[in-house]
Amino acid sequence: MKQYEFDISVSIIEKLFPEERVKTKAQIIEILMEAIRYILINPSVSAEKKAGSLILNIDRMSRLFFIKKNKYVSIVFPFFAFEEDGKLRFTFQNEIDVSPQLISKVISIVKCDKFKEKCSLDFVVPICEYEENCDGNFWIFLRELLLMEDGYIRYDHDLEEYEKAKEKGEEHKHPLNHYDFFYSSNASFKIGLKNKLLRDGFIDLLNTRTDCQYLTSQRS
């Protein structure tokens, strides 16, 4: 397994860890694209400006890990990564270069109002325009991002919400340390942990080459 780690600064932390809870695939795609753009730039971050880490694991199941204090997030990494002239580059299906221009266009599409319109033609027009003028593979790339299984999982050490739940006698509905699986309200659920989790433990949980972890019930 190859692992690449990047320090993330305060200036990018809100894009990788949005203040509002992630609820849609479009948000996941935006975060993924912002992460790749950051890796391609790979800026130098001083110790006092470091706000967390971005870790890319390349293996038979490749993943991105977003690490900051008391919160870890991971999603699937769907691209092929390789080094060229000492820098990382990414391609999709070994054909489409994941360039800064492509990244910017994907972000603009998933964030634009036309993406949310009820009429499909409003969504199609900017895609067709970009394919005609810049990249004939753009729809293939965007379609696969929309259809991919993103494998979202989050770990939280959330004292504030735990204390609120505890006051109501519901501390086991919002454990201090927990995993959140999925992100939409009709699919998301928590699994509580007895102890605080270190980042290496989170990464190991998602490593298909190491032994599985086991659940033990809090209930009698």
Of 91 and 130, the one with more pLDDT = 91
Please report where in the chains the tokens 């992460």 appear, as a residue.
Answer: 35
pLDDT at 115 over 60: yes
Q: Domain map of the chain by residue range? A: 2-151
Mean pLDDT to the nearest integer, 8-33: 94
- Lowest-pLDDT choice from 28-42, 97-111, 126-140, 149-163: 126-140
| Long-range contact set of residues 206-209: C-beta below 8 Å, sequence gap at least 24 | 206/61, 206/63, 206/74, 206/153, 207/1, 207/57, 207/59, 208/59, 208/60, 208/61, 209/1, 209/59, 209/60
Dist CA 192 CA 174 (whole Å): 8
- Lowest-pLDDT choice from 40-49, 60-69, 189-198: 40-49
pTM listed for this prediction: 0.92
Dist CA 29 CA 37 (whole Å): 12
